[in-house]
A = this chain, B = another copy of it.
Amino acid sequence: MHSRHRTPRNPEEDPMAGYHDDKDRLLRRLRRVEGQIRGLQRMVDTDTYCIDTLTQVSAATKALQSVALQLLDSHLAHCVHDAIAAGGAEADAKVAEATQAIARLMRA
């Protein structure tokens, strides 16, 4: 089983790691975003007024960013946290990796 908050290289190290409690919340949020995207397809298909469609695109984008923030928060609280607590070079690598992910989100 892959773990979310650790690199998949040593999954045996902590077989219980993973999405835990927030998995349900993430999946619920993603299903809601999926519903928004399908709603957008209906809006385009029925020639809904463009500005209303754009408002729904903004709402879906915002919902996706909330997913990103939840993922990031729990990544910092678990993966980065554990790497730092364990000490060593892994900690720096985890911080650099997280910063790069944040940069991708800000430029998205």
A→B interface (CB under 8 Å): 1-8, 17-19, 23, 26-27, 30-31, 33-34, 37-38, 40-41, 44-51, 53-55, 57-62, 64-65, 67-69, 71-77, 79-81, 84-85, 87, 91-92, 95-99, 101-108
Given A2-B46, A7-B49, answer yes or no on A54-B71 (Cβ-Cβ < 8 Å).
yes
Contact between A92 and B77, CB atoms less than 8 A apart: yes
Contact between B23 and A69, CB atoms less than 8 A apart: no
Copies of this chain, complex-wide, total 4
With a cutoff of 8 Å between Cβ atoms, the chain B residues found around residue A3 in the complex are: 47, 49
With beta carbons under 8 angstroms apart, the residue of B44, B67, B69 that contacts A30 is: B44
With a cutoff of 8 Å between Cβ atoms, the chain B residues found around residue A19 in the complex are: 44, 47
Contact between A18 and B37, CB atoms less than 8 A apart: no
